[in-house]
Amino acid sequence: MLAALFWLQVLFYVEPVRFFTLEGEPYVELFLGVDATSVRYVPEGDGYKAQVDFLLLLKNQLDEAVYADKFRFILPVVRDTMAPERQRLYVDVRRLRLPQGVYTLEVEGMDPHQLPRPQKVKAVTQFEVPAKSAGFGYSDLLYARGGQASTPKGYERHGLNLDLWITNGFFTDPDTLRLYGEIYHVDSLIGGEPYYLRLRLVDAQTGADVPGFTFQRRPRRPGPFEAFTFTLPVAQLSSGIYLTQIELCRNTGEVLASWYRRFHLFTTREPLPQASEAEYDSQYGFPEKLLDEYLEGLYYLATPTERSFQKTLKSFAEKKVYFVAFWKKRAERPGSLSFQEFRQRFEYARQHFKSSIRPGWRTDRGRVFIQYGPPNDMQFYFNEPDKYPYQIWVYNQIGAQSSVIFVFYDPDLITGEYPLLHSNKIGELQNRNWRAFLLRARAAATGETEAFHRFGSGGAFIFRDDQTIGFTRDDR
């Protein structure tokens, strides 16, 4: 996404959100959010106008087009280019009824007024439409801006007016977040017994509940439908990745169902602890070259704010102070990774995961090892005649997620690089067809391996499905 800003391209977000009718029929609300700060406004009458030309193409699992649309998204006219309306996110929404299955949505956007010339930006996302629900079910979760219960010109749904925040769960300096969801036919799950909803905010890195961020609604009698919202005062949180976990509970506290959505929080209000060069010299004392290598490894563990700050470091003295502050901050948090543990992971990655083109800590295997630690199991497949060599790493638990796998493979058979092909870890690269990419004959005939690397390299926006919807899905 940063690339779009650097090249002055239009910045937009795509979120397919799944709901059910009262008859149990699934449908998708497709939200398209355009950042008004990323488009060029041109004079029109007494104000300024902006627009984005979109092309939507939806394909099923057989790669057949099932929906297409070409339209012009016209943003509201503003009085001048500094008007507050220019700082907003504008949302388009459309409803799709689709058969059960996995779909790939390609969205191409272009600002026709862009200088020096318009450039196309492509977004790709994949989502699953579930089967018809015969009983209890729940929707995906939506994020909106917090504050007033009703906001002007918002998204109207079941009597609620939501100022949607369609940014794929990436938020910068929010004061409050509003979470919206729906549940269906609780009575089929619990009969006539009262129930309540509880929201728990979970730190996705540690799997621990965030203290003071558990909220619950008053008990109520089951019915065919309930739309609910929770408001989270997130201004006091540090940068990181969080899960909003919704739990449906009996009055006794027994959890009957739970589902979640992830969000990334970026805050510029997060200070680093005070530190000095003298502390570095006495506690660490590494030469600058080694410190630079360790800083590269720290990047995998850093918060978004720390990563932004780390990019500004120039002198040896600045790097020293940042390094001390980084570990001071984690020493204040029980359960955080210590420097000694980090150093052991880093040195192991240096020795065991290097390739012919980069040191071990810069490879995908090195990054995963440093970020998540040693796996509980490593499975090696080097001699299967029809497949590229590959490895599967298994983690029993990473944070709140269990049974996590990482699949690495060797498509060039020369460098020993072993790039990441697939993982079911939330936030990591997911490729449901990873087994097909291991087949040498198919890859050679179709060019799938090359296309896959272009897809996952960051040259396009990659939006992954990170929500659950009433079904257990095996991404392995």
pLDDT tens across 255-278, in order? 999 999 999 888 877 777 889 999
pLDDT bracket for residue 325 (50, 70, 90): very high
β-pairing, 170-172 vs 255-266, is: parallel
pLDDT confidence tier of residue 426, bands split at 50, 70 and 90: confident
- With cut-offs at 50, 70 and 90, classify the pLDDT of residue 334: confident
Percent of the chain predicted with pLDDT > 70: 88
The per-residue b/e assignment along 398-433, b for 16 or more CB within 10 angstroms, e otherwise, is bbbeeebbbbbbbbeeeeebbbbbbbbbbebbbbbe
Q: What is the pTM of this model?
A: 0.65
- When pLDDT is cut at 50, 70 and 90, the band that residue 469 belongs to is very low
Inter-helix orientation angle 339-352/288-298, to 10°: 100
Write down the mean pLDDT value for the chain: 85
| DSSP-derived pairing of the beta strands 65-78 and 390-398 | unpaired
Query: What are phi and psi for residue 285, nearest 5 degrees?
Result: 70, 20
Neighbouring CB atoms inside 10 A of 457's CB total: 10
Tell me: the pLDDT tens digits for 344-380?
999 999 999 999 999 999 999 999 999 999 999 999 9
Mean of pLDDT values over 268-296? 90
For residue 126, pLDDT over 60 is answered with: yes
Residue 458, pLDDT above cutoff 70 = no
Domains of the chain: 1-128 (2.60.40.10), 135-271 (2.60.40.2550), 277-352 (no CATH), 375-445 (no CATH)
Which of the residue ranges 139-143, 172-176, 220-224, 392-396 would you say has the lowest mean pLDDT? 172-176
- Helix crossing, 316-331 with 288-298: angle to 10°? 50
pLDDT at 455: 26
Instruction: Kindly tell me if the per-residue pLDDT of 463 is higher than 80.
Output: no
Task: Classify residue 80 by burial, with Cβ atoms within 10 Å: 0-12, 13-18, 19+.
Answer: exposed
- pLDDT of 436 reads 85
Q: Is the pLDDT of residue 2 over 80?
A: no
Determine the 3-state secondary structure of 435 from DSSP.
helix
Reported in sequence order, the residue ranges of 267-381 that DSSP labels E, i.e. its strands, are: 377-381
pLDDT at 372: 93
pLDDT band at 445 (very low <50, low <70, confident <90, very high): very low
- According to DSSP, residue 135 is labeled S
Residue 280 vs residue 147, higher pLDDT: 280
**Which one has a higher pLDDT value, 401 or 95?**
95
User: pLDDT value at position 152?
Assistant: 52
In the three-class reduction of DSSP (H, G, I as helix; E, B as strand; rest coil), residue 11 is classed as coil
Query: What is the C-alpha to C-alpha distance for residues 388 and 449, in angstroms, rounded to an integer?
Result: 11
In the predicted model, is pLDDT for residue 248 greater than 80? yes
Is the pLDDT confidence value at 420 over 90? Answer: yes
Q: Is residue 50 predicted with pLDDT exceeding 50?
A: yes
What's the start-to-end Cα distance of the chain, in Å?
28
Q: Model confidence over 96-109: pLDDT tens digits?
A: 999 999 999 999 99
pLDDT reading at 468 higher than 50: no
- In 185-254, DSSP assigns E strands to 195-203, 209-216, 225-232, 240-250
* Coil, strand or helix at 44: strand
Predicted pLDDT of residue 91 = 93
Q: What does the pLDDT average to over 212-217?
A: 95
Length of the chain equals 476
- Other Cβ atoms closer than 10 A to 39: 26
Give the pLDDT mean for 248-255.
94
224 exposure class (CB count in 10 Å sphere: 0-12, 13-18, 19+) = exposed
Q: What is the pLDDT of residues 162-183, one digit of tens each?
A: 999 999 898 888 889 999 999 9
- Sign for the CA dihedral angle at 279, 285, 288, 289 comes to negative
CA–CA dist 260, 140 (Å, integer): 8
Q: Measured between alpha carbons, how far is residue 241 from residues 204, 244, 426 in Å?
A: 5, 10, 10
Q: Are 115 and 152 in contact (CB under 8 A)?
A: no
